[in-house]
Chains A and B, each alone.
Chain A
Amino acid sequence: SAVISQKPSRDICQRGTSLTIQCQVDSQVTMMFWYRQQPGQSLTLIATANQGSEATYESGFVIDKFPISRPNLTFSTLTVSNMSPEDSSIYLCSVEDTQGNTEAFFGQGTRLTVV
């Protein structure tokens, strides 16, 4: 299993500013995933972050808007840049079971409100 600490748990931000979300895992993992969960909707994968390489972004998400860092095997950050009210959402960090069971573990999420 994996325990994931994500912070901040919530924030209210002004439009045009940026917010960096941190994700810390209690064990080394190869891949970390960043999701967005818009109000009342399912999870949408933003990008996959591998240590030592650039993140892989899903269709509709770009690095300029959502830059990701992955400096080591236990930590990653997601920045939401130049925010607008449409970015109001829950952002979730996730890792997968290192023993190959494909179970995913999630942080508690960051609830972002852009005003």
Chain B
Amino acid sequence: GDSVTQMEGPVTLSEEAFLTINCTYTATGYPSLFWYVQYPGEGLQLLLKATKADDKGSNKGFEATYRKETTSFHLEKGSVQVSDSAVYFCALYSNYQLIWGAGTKLIIKP
């Protein structure tokens, strides 16, 4: 079945460091891909998405590109802030439901 694999956390970085959180997927067809973020004590919210190959989703300085050839959707940010500390989930939409990665906890130290 369809699945999402993302890098294990926690990922700990210093403020202003470059961030990459890897996400790869297995799916039939060309699903829409998403990154969701969960800040401490809050529900999930959509961070960015891409609906077809080579699309780049971006929001709040984060970017991810839908790579069909490598079945990947890695999340990147050039300079992280303490306020980016959260859990990040990669997901794909398949058969009328979202398939979730395990989540990656990101800790940014000042």
B28 within 8 Å of A by Cβ? no
Cα distance A103–B93 when bound, in Å? 9
Given A92-B43, A92-B44, A109-B43: A104 touches B98 (CB 8 Å cut-off): yes
For B44, give the chain A residue with the smallest CB separation: A106
Cα distance A75–B88 when bound, in Å? 28
Given A42-B89, A92-B44: A102 touches B32 (CB 8 Å cut-off): yes
Main secondary structure on chain B at its contact with chain A?
strand
The interface centre, meaning the residue of A4, A41, A48, A104 with most chain B CB atoms within 10 A of its CB, is A104
Question: Are B103 and A106 neighbours in the complex by a CB distance under 8 Å?
Answer: no
B42 within 8 Å of A by Cβ? yes
B12 within 8 Å of A by Cβ? no
Q: Please, which residues of chain A bring their CB within 8 A of the CB of B102?
A: 41-42
Produce 1/0 per residue, A87-108, CB < 8 A to B. Answer: 0000010100000001111111
Q: Please, which residues of chain B bring their CB within 8 A of the CB of A103?
A: 34, 46, 49
CB distance from A70 to the nearest CB of B (A): 17
Question: Are A102 and B93 neighbours in the complex by a CB distance under 8 Å?
Answer: yes
For A104, give the chain B residue with the smallest CB separation: B98
A43 within 8 Å of B by Cβ? yes
Could you list which residues of chain B lie within 8 angstroms of chain A, going by C-beta atoms? 32, 34, 36, 41-46, 49, 89, 93, 97-98, 100-103
